[in-house]
Structure 1
């Protein structure tokens, strides 16, 4: 098999966008509020009722693999107003069997149709290829497959799909956004000892990460989270709505129980076998028309599936959401999830609201 450096076919220089007569520069952390305003305008024009916040943009600057000078662009007019943006998102490579780069970007609705989006996609794809090719300098990574991807929401303009197709990306995976009305009767699902549901805590955070890595090991496209990646992007994290299931019969022995590359969890730490990590996106409540509790991550170790752990976690979370005045519970799911998650959610009263598609080029 050829190396990723060969397969990426990275250009030596990046194609600088010329359409629209804009001036281009990388993002800075100080740009977060203005970038959020631009993204809000773009997302609203696309018919979305949820938006990217300035805090979420600021999160990017604390991510473990983020070089804004190389991986971002913002386009400004003669008055300095931001009218277009693009970035690539890279991921840590410890313990992975797939190299990934994610593309995102957008153009202000008043400047569409000028070719700016086409130029931005060309730049982002070329930059992604450079980043992947650079991975080939590590002998552990040189032979791994790679994916360049982007997401399209079901309600996005058709032109966006056409743009990705023209750029060589094809639809490869479908996701559903699910909602559950919390005014309807809520289920009660218990656990039998030695399983026990406990609140999330800082002391159990790394044990939860390792449980997540085992839980998602057989899910399409998923890769293990490093400690740095696990703790990134937490501006919306809701610890009061996050819960874990531990097995009191297991004495944790450390990283030899986990995938290579994971750090040792201190002896005596409860063995986490299931996790529910939640988000609180208050900036979306007005536009959505309801107060929502978001399940950002739900997982159960493979050896513990079939014991109603996920159902117990979700049922408990829904009750906590409702107790805190939330009206709706929200989560996303891969429609081809092999663990039976879609059937679990349907059985607990979740229904599809909308969805998205991942477009990708495989290398």
Structure 2
């Protein structure tokens, strides 16, 4: 029987190589005020951090991407940085623009390429961003075609909703809004919800010994979530420079020893001066289907709020897909979280 993924019957799709319409070659940007172009390397992390901070300042983002997080992006042996990244260098050797394309290897329902890039605010308005996006689009199509996965395909760009110029750019490039996300926060200097753990379960601290079980639990819990794909073991541990083990938990079924749910936190300490408060960030929260409907998600959130407050945090924060059918948005609102920022996933569906 033909598989159905994201309301698309896979058997009805043209071959991925046809849909991707990948060019044989990806030309470098031209006529860009003397910028020269080359791939990014790990040695570029400090310069790339300066550029990304400048763009986040200009766009009034409520966060700043740290050098450690940028360095994380060079992890993953599935990535070909020589072909999947680009840096525009001025005459003084300063990076003024960059681009990246990433095709996660675990994709099993929709094959995706995430596109990421920026132009120094001082160099905007010269047509560089348009050419950078064209390069990303072309390289992304090559990656989709090379995946060989006969699945629905997506080119995706995340844009926070303050970045008006970037929104105009991606719309002009043929991308349309596909999904909307909200950042939410809750003060911790008011009464916290009680930790009521469902009968037969216990909540334990994260440990390295549990981590593979948590990955498998995550893949199962998010199998019915739009835009989520299984994570390989390498993907699961990639990008953990901000991971906060002491703020991360697993819910264990006493009868079977299985992981029923989990909560993983991050500590973005470099953002606290910008925010004006200290926050614990809930990065991942999931409950496996067999244990849903027992308020386990609420128990995990109550547990982590208490941990955040015990460590002197002022706020609990998290992000949510506003169209999440699991009712996560309502759960968070019921626990006192309120939206303070939003972003949009723009995509080209193939």
TM-score, normalization: structure 1?
Answer: 0.91
**Residues 294 and 101 of structure 1, relative CA distance in 2, 3 Å threshold:** same
Partner of 1:280: 267
CA distance in 2, matches of 1:162, 1:106: 13
Shift of 1:64: 4.1
CA distance in 1, matches of 2:33, 2:26: 18
Shift of 1:63: 2.1
Partner of 2:120: 108
CA distance in 1, matches of 2:317, 2:255: 33
1:229 to 229, 235, 251: 235
Partner of 1:84: 97
Contact 1:15 1:122 in 2 (8 A): no
Q: Does 1:202 align with 2:208?
A: yes
CA distance in 2, matches of 1:215, 1:276: 12
Q: Secondary structure at the match of 2:33?
A: helix
Partner of 2:45: 32
Contact 1:293 1:321 in 2 (8 A): yes
Contact 1:76 1:83 in 2 (8 A): yes
* Equivalent residue pairs, number: 337
Partner of 2:290: 303
Q: Does 1:180 align with 2:186?
A: yes
Q: Does 1:356 align with 2:343?
A: yes
Deviation readout 1:226-264 (Å, 9 max, x if unpaired): 1111111100000000001010111xxxxxxxxxxxxxx
Contact 1:179 1:350 in 2 (8 A): yes
Partner of 1:340: 327
Q: Does 1:151 align with 2:138?
A: no
Partner of 2:59: 46
Shift of 1:41: 0.7
Partner of 1:123: 135
CA distance in 2, matches of 1:329, 1:29: 32
Contact 1:178 1:331 in 2 (8 A): yes
- The worse-fitting range, judged by mean Cα deviation, of 159-168 and 170-179 is 159-168
Shift of 1:190: 1.1
Structure 2 unaligned residues grouped into runs of 5+:
1-12
Deviation readout 1:87-130 (Å, 9 max, x if unpaired): 11210136x11100001111111110000000000000000000
TM-score, normalization: structure 2?
Answer: 0.94
Q: Secondary structure at the match of 1:193?
A: coil
2:174 to 152, 168, 171: 168
Q: Secondary structure at the match of 2:347?
A: strand
Q: Secondary structure at the match of 2:19?
A: helix
Contact 1:17 1:119 in 2 (8 A): yes
Q: Secondary structure at the match of 1:75?
A: strand
Shift of 1:172: 0.8
Contact 1:64 1:229 in 2 (8 A): no
Contact 2:198 2:295 in 1 (8 A): no
Shift of 1:37: 1.0
Greater than 4 Å deviation, 4+ residue runs: none
Deviation readout 1:267-309 (Å, 9 max, x if unpaired): xxx3101000000111111111111100000000011111111
Q: Does 1:11 align with 2:23?
A: yes
CA distance in 1, matches of 2:88, 2:190: 47
CA distance in 2, matches of 1:20, 1:9: 30
Shift of 1:189: 2.7
CA distance in 2, matches of 1:337, 1:153: 18
